[in-house]
């Protein structure tokens, strides 16, 4: 498989606000497509230092692109 071929499909559900945040970032950074923007955001997130580790039993709904005020990345609920 060449570097440009994608072997797997990843499907996620976003709220309207989360999608707007991704699209705003995409256009601000002049990314060629939504998929390219999401791949870049994933690459940046996976290489980031200091992220929170999810608590045991955390549900998918506990994770959000935006914080409670609709800004930035909310991330995972922190362990106590």
Instruction: Output the tens digit of pLDDT for each of the chain's 80 residues.
Output: 456 687 889 999 999 999 999 999 999 999 999 999 999 999 998 888 776 677 888 887 777 778 777 776 555 444 44
| pLDDT recorded at residue 24 | 96
- Give residue limits of the domains in the chain: 12-80
What's the pLDDT at 1?
A: 47
Long-range contacts of 52-55 (CB under 8 A, 24+ apart): 52/76, 52/77, 52/78, 52/79, 53/78, 53/79, 55/79
If one counts every other C-beta atom within 10 angstroms of the C-beta of residue 16, the result is 7
pLDDT score at 63: 76
């Amino acid at each position: 498989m060449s570097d440009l071929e994608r072997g797997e499909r990843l499907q996620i559900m976003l709220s309207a606000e989360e999608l707007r945040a991704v699209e705003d970032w995409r256009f601000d950074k002049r990314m060629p497509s939504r998929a390219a923007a999401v791949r870049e955001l994933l690459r940046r997130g996976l290489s980031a230092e200091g992220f929170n580790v999810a608590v045991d039993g955390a549900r998918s709904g506990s994770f959000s692109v935006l914080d409670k005020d609709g800004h930035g990345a909310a991330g995972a609920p922190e362990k106590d």
